[in-house]
Structure 1
Amino acid sequence: MEITARLTANAEVKTLKDERQVVNFNVAINDSYKPKGSSEVTKLVTYVQCAYWVNSNIAQYLTKGTLVELQGRIGVNAYNNMQGEAKAALTFHVNNIKLHGKPKYESNNTETAAPVATEAGAEQTDDLPF
């Protein structure tokens, strides 16, 4: 499955008891449609919790407002809350991350190109002439 969305907050790296690290973040998917028989456009926002296990170094690039393209699979966690009611939460288990730009509100500053981990520990450097 593939989704393109913006991060709603900076990513967080969690270390588990067995020393594995996971990058947790949330994204918002913006959509719009025009209901049949209406001239007004309805906007819809869907929030998705994400988990990335491949390389925790990517967390520094996953900042609020960044546009990302994610590939992975959906997982479900079913549980009973304190009142005994059945609840469930969906998590998007990300296998591949492509960064598509900085947050809209970030100023244009000139920094040196840094390597960006995009999949399974691979690193790429942005040394394009433009």
Structure 2
Amino acid sequence: MLNRVVLVGRLTRDPELRYTPNGVAVANFTLAVNRTFSNQQGERDADFINCVVWRKPAENVANYLKKGSLAGVDGRIQTRSYDNNEGRRVFVTEIVADSVQFLEPRGASQGQGNDYFGGPPSGGNDFGNQQNPNQNRSSGGFNDDPFSNDGKPIDISDDDLPF
């Protein structure tokens, strides 16, 4: 059997941190995850997925993420039910996160029109990694091509390939 979920999305509200009677931290948050296709009006819909994370990762989520933060969640789907105050059975489906990754620098989503993947707004910089598209290639940015402007052929034998 396999029950594995990997999500990337933005928090729809600030995480809610609580503690169990035994002192175990638990944080709840909702992640808005864009669908890969557009609807009939040409707009992208999103799914709003409830997530829960426990212990130290819960405290980290509550301390460092806020509404609009881009996060990656790795976990499993869990279903449960309970009887509400009116005596009705309520079914809940949620993601129990094993890990939550913070996918952008602190405060990067505040006031910026980043797209779903956390890219910079048009004309902006990429979180300080690239200041000018015409800058010197030796800046060490992650998009630099180590073989560009070399002019020499790359000599790779079949023994060098990992497959």
Task: Give the TM-score category using the shorter length.
Answer: 0.5 to 0.7
Say whether the 8 Å CA contact 1:63–1:103 is kept in structure 2.
Answer: no
| Separation in structure 2 between the aligned mates of residue 57 and residue 81 of structure 1, nearest angstrom | 30
Deviation of the 1:84 alpha carbon? 4.8
SS of residue in 1 equivalent to 2:21: coil
Aligned pair count reads 105
**Residue 26 of structure 2: which of 22, 26, 45 is its match?**
22
3-state secondary structure, aligned to 1:19 = coil
Deviations 1:12-63 (A, max 9, x none): 210111111112211111225246xx6x424222111111114113321111
RMSD: 2.3
How far off its partner does 1:85 sit? 4.2
Q: Structure 1 segments of 4 or more deviating over 6 A?
A: none
C-alpha distance in 2, partners of 1:41/1:85? 39
1:1-130 matched pairs, under 5 angstroms: 1-34=5-38, 40-55=41-56, 56-101=59-104, 102-105=108-111
- Give the deviation of 1:67 after TM superposition: 0.5
Identity of aligned residues (%): 23
1: CA distance, partners of 2:90 / 2:12: 23
Q: Is the 8 A contact 2:24 2:55 kept in 1?
A: no
- Range moving further from structure 2, 8-17 or 74-83: 74-83
SS at match of 1:64: coil
TM-score by length of 2: 0.55
Give CA-to-partner distance per residue, 1:103-127, whole Å, 9 cap, x none: 2526xxxxxxxxxxxxxxxxxxxxx
Q: Secondary structure at the match of 2:34?
A: strand
> What is the TM-score of this pair, normalised by structure 1?
0.67
Quick check: which has more Rg, 1 or 2? 2
Q: Per residue, is there more strand in 1 or in 2? A: 1
CA 1:57–1:98: 2 relative to 1, 3 Å: closer
Checking the alignment, whether the CA contact within 8 Å between 1:32 and 1:42 is kept in structure 2 is: no
Give 5+ residue unaligned stretches, structure 1.
107-128
Q: Which has the higher contact order (CA 8 A, sep 6+)?
A: 1
